[in-house]
Structure 1
Amino acid sequence: MNFIHLRWADLDPNFHLRHSVYYDLAAQERVMILNSYGINTQTMKEQNFGPVLFKEECQFKREIHLSSKIHIETKLLNMKKDASFWVIQHEFLSEENKLHALIKVEGSWIDTLLRKIAKPVPTVVFQGLERFPKTADFEYI
């Protein structure tokens, strides 16, 4: 389990994690997982595709402070069978596994040349999302 290293600059005037930092941390976690499955910037540039977000929503449950030991569990919640649309869930958990925040991101893949949703998605995307960690209640939609 890798705990997040929070910075002083991540705090708001109430000395807890600033709301926008949750989104930044979730995005970094998501990108790291995608990279581990071959969906990286080099591949995206070569094959002219990239992720596009339709919705990003956070439910804040408990404060996170500078000294908090927090880790993020990132899993696929839903996905179309062709991997053209997906929902990724990020749980911000304490070392006692108490939920501090829940982010859900809905997205797809865009053809960066046509500036339209990529159909079909590149093979690397399909294979990577098939291997992506999934929630216990994951379902194809």
Structure 2
Amino acid sequence: MKQNIYYEGQVLWAQLDPNMHLRHSAYADFCAQARSNMLTKAGLSLEEFAKYHIGPILFREELIYYREIGLDERISVKVEMTKLNLKNFRFSFRHEIYKENGIKAATVEIDGAWLDLQKRKLTIIPEAWHSIFDAIPKADDYTVYSE
């Protein structure tokens, strides 16, 4: 089993496009679920987000397709952090989506930050969360900034 897999599942009929392969927005849905699973496992559950009135927000999402994914195929999604800015805790993650035969079907890269859900403005994370970021898997090309 590959490391850092945070979602595994079957492609459903409702996730197909008219060309009978996985629709583009379903890739984003799978990656969002994998990120949520990864954050929960690291200690940032939905309850923890609600406690501080903070949620993640994306600035960029880029998808590169390698292979088609069809109906009833089983997929797995790997998630790793590629960048973290320690000053403002902006982040980047890479998701790799694999077909059940182990072939990589797509890569999804995202950049994001944290949103104060009451003020509707970008914010930094609470001090209590800093250690949680140590538990988040890092990519081989992971870069940390402090400026």
Which residue matches 1:77?
82
Which residue matches 1:31?
36
C-alpha separation in 2, matches of 1:81 and 1:130: 12
C-alpha separation in 1, matches of 2:87 and 2:104: 31
Deviation at residue 130 of structure 1 after TM alignment: 2.1
Moved over 4 A (4+): none
- Contact kept? 1:16, 1:64, Cα under 8 Å: yes
C-alpha separation in 2, matches of 1:39 and 1:111: 15
Report SS of the residue matched to 2:86: coil
Does 2:115 match 1:115? Answer: no
Deviation at residue 112 of structure 1 after TM alignment: 1.9
Which residue matches 2:4?
none
CA RMSD of aligned residues (A): 1.7
Deviation at residue 82 of structure 1 after TM alignment: 4.1
Deviation digits for residues 66-96 of structure 1, max 9, x if unmatched? 2433211111011112461000110011244
C-alpha separation in 1, matches of 2:43 and 2:144: 22
C-alpha separation in 1, matches of 2:40 and 2:17: 31
Which residue matches 1:101?
106
Aligned-partner residue type, residue 131 of structure 1: A
C-alpha separation in 1, matches of 2:41 and 2:88: 17
C-alpha separation in 2, matches of 1:17 and 1:41: 27
C-alpha separation in 1, matches of 2:109 and 2:129: 19
Does 2:52 match 1:47? Answer: yes
Aligned-partner residue type, residue 129 of structure 2: V
Deviation at residue 26 of structure 1 after TM alignment: 0.4
Which residue matches 1:131?
135
C-alpha separation in 1, matches of 2:84 and 2:101: 30
C-alpha separation in 1, matches of 2:39 and 2:126: 14
Deviation digits for residues 38-69 of structure 1, max 9, x if unmatched? 21221112112111111111111110012433
* Percent of pairs with identical residues: 31
Which residue matches 2:64?
59
Report SS of the residue matched to 2:76: strand
